[in-house]
Amino acid sequence: MSATAPTRTAAVLRPRLLGRSVVNLVVGISVLYTLLPVLWLVLAASKDRDALFGSDVLSLDHFSFAQNLKDLFATDGGLYTRWYGNSLLYAVLGAGLGALISIACGYAFDKYRFAHKEKLFGLVLAAVMVPQTVLALPLYLMASGTGLVNTFWSVFIPVLFNPFGVYLGRIFSQGYVPNEVLEAARVDGAGELTTYFRVAMRMLGPGLVTVFLFQLTAIWNNFFLPMVMLSDQDLYPVSLGLYTWNSAATVSPEYYPVVIMGSLLAVLPLILAFALLQRFWKSGLTAGAVK
């Protein structure tokens, strides 16, 4: 009797223990899968070209992080700094302005009644799924027709358009801005727009940050539109700049360490943004996922 009791508990526990370790193993391997390439980028950025082509990024020799950094900012007359500034300008200004526009529209969709509302909203949702490549040629022709092609505006204006942000804005407005608050403001005689800017927008703060982050990521990643619109290298964002340097690297390998270092630096702003604004975008994801 006394001998069987521990064996039985062990038998109940064993598969569970096994299950636990399998679960942790699977998650662990997945984390390695996502982390190791980033780690490789970090290590490769700190190596000189010989070590890079010797495939031994793990050794401590050939350490040349500072030199690579210096090379990066010196290549082609410091073009990288220019690209980085452009990317920041496109992404931060574009996402900020775009988020304000989308959230305002989503709020209006939620709080006001007007003719053909759901049809218009359907149009907004349809815009989410239209491929960017479909719009690129007409946008290019329109831009060249108006003389905007190869200017800051040819990239900046199209990225402001964020129909998914309107969808999120409507959901956030439903969730965060109670109708009673608006009623109360109306009774107090506040104008509709004053109410929006003074009261509702403050409540929509987390939603605004979420949409901002989504759009920041999208614009920072943007590659197709700049490639179509821009021919002046001084206007390039980082993504397109690294693309051109990478194609240069296939001919002249001295570009490889520069591309790698440039890639590493280009990852930082988004990591920083996600880390700083973590609690906002997590709530935003939930809103998008549950509804």
Partner 1 sequence: MTTPVTTPASAPVNVSAAAPAPTTSPRTARKSARRRELGAAGALMTPFFILLVTVFLIPVATAVWLSFFSDDQPGLGFGPERTVFVGLRSYTAVLTDPTFLSGLGAVVLYCVIYIPLMVIGALALALLLDSGVVRLRSWAQLGLFLPHAVPGIIAAVIWLYLYTPGLSPVIDLLGKADITIDFLGVHTVVPSIVNIALWSNLGYNMVVFYAALQAVPREVIEASVVDGAGPVRTALQIKTPLVRSSVVMVAMFTLIFALQLFTEPMLLSQSTPMISSRFSPSMYIYDAAFTRNNYGLAAAASVVLLVCTIALSYGVTRWTNRSDAAEEDAR
**Contact between 20 and partner 1 per CB under 8 A:** yes
The Cα-based distances of 155 to 76, 129, 226, 237 in angstroms read 23, 20, 6, 10
Closer to partner 1 by CB, 2 or 104: give it: 104
Q: Does 13 bind partner 1 (CB under 8 A)?
A: no
The torsion defined by the Cα of 203, 209, 212 and 218, in degrees rounded to 10, comes to -140
Residue 256 binds partner 1, judged by CB under 8 A: yes
Q: Cβ of residue 249: shortest distance to partner 1, in angstroms?
A: 9
Residue 55 lies near partner 1 (rule: CB under 8 A): yes
Contact yes or no for 128/164 (Cβ under 8 A): yes
| Closest to partner 1 by CB, 73 or 157 | 157
Check residue 259 for interaction with partner 1 (CB under 8 A). yes
Using CB under 8 A as the binding rule, whether residue 19 contacts partner 1 is answered as yes
Considering beta carbons, is residue 3 or 13 the nearer one to partner 1?
Answer: 13
| Residue of 150, 151, 161, 199 interacting with partner 1 (CB under 8 A) | 161
265 Ramachandran zone, left/alpha/beta (phi>0; psi -120 to 50): alpha
Shorter beta-carbon distance to partner 1: residue 5 or 193: 193
Q: Among residues 28 and 85, whose Cβ is nearest to partner 1? A: 28
Judged by CB under 8 A, the chain residues 179 through 198 that form the site for partner 1 are: 186, 191-193, 196
How far are the Cα atoms of 107, 163, 260 from residue 119, in angstroms, in the given order? 16, 14, 47
Segment 74-103, which members bind partner 1 (CB under 8 A)?
A: 101-102
Binding residues among 269-288 for partner 1 as defined by CB under 8 A: 270-271, 274, 282, 285-286, 288
* Span interacting with partner 1, options 1-9, 64-72, 74-82, 106-114, rule CB under 8 A: 106-114
148 binds partner 1 (CB under 8 A): no
30: contact with partner 1 by CB under 8 A? yes
